[in-house]
């Protein structure tokens, strides 16, 4: 996507998955994508913003900065799902080996007994 193309608004689902903050005034928050600044004048005024990849995005900032990440994730979802599946498989394999090692050592705390009941 070239810089001249306007990004679509990030979806509600995507924004809901990000860390969200609210700053009460008086304060100024700067968009980490376009450098626009928004001011909250007093304690009755607040600014909602999100954080992604170490950058701040002010809610409803027209630059729609987070959309670039959302589009990348959606375009690469098969790769991401494959990666997450491989990571989950390896972590489950390692956890099962750990349980076998603990059992072999003769240690059987309640958690291991609970896991036995799941098999
Ligand atoms: Zn912006």
Q: Find the helix or strand (DSSP H, E) in which 23 lies.
A: strand 19-24
Query: Token pair 């950058």 is at which residue?
Result: 55
Distance 77 CA to ligand 1 centre (A): 25
DSSP string, 25-70: SSEEEE-TTT--EEEE-STT-EEEEEEETTEEEETT-TT-TTHHHH
Distance 114 CA to ligand 1 centre (A): 50
Per-residue pLDDT of the chain (119 residues; tens, 9 = 90+): 455 678 999 999 999 999 999 999 999 999 999 999 999 999 999 999 999 999 999 999 999 999 999 999 999 999 999 999 999 999 999 998 988 888 888 877 777 777 777 66
Distance 69 CA to ligand 1 centre (A): 14
Distance 60 CA to ligand 1 centre (A): 8
pLDDT of amino acid 110 = 76
pLDDT of amino acid 116 = 72
d(C-alpha 29, C-alpha 60), whole Å = 13
């Amino acid at each position: 996507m070239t810089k001249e193309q306007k990004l679509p608004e990030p979806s509600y689902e995507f924004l809901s998955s990000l860390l969200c903050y609210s700053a009460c005034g008086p304060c100024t928050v700067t968009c980490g994508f376009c450098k626009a600044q928004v001011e909250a004048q007093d304690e009755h005024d607040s600014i909602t913003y999100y954080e992604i990849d170490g950058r701040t995005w002010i809610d409803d900032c027209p630059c729609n900065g987070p959309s670039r990440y959302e589009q990348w994730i959606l375009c690469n979802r098969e790769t991401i799902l494959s990666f997450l599946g491989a990571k989950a498989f390896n972590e489950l394999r390692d956890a099962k080996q750990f349980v076998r090692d603990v059992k072999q050592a003769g240690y059987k705390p309640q958690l291991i007994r609970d896991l036995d009941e799941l098999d």
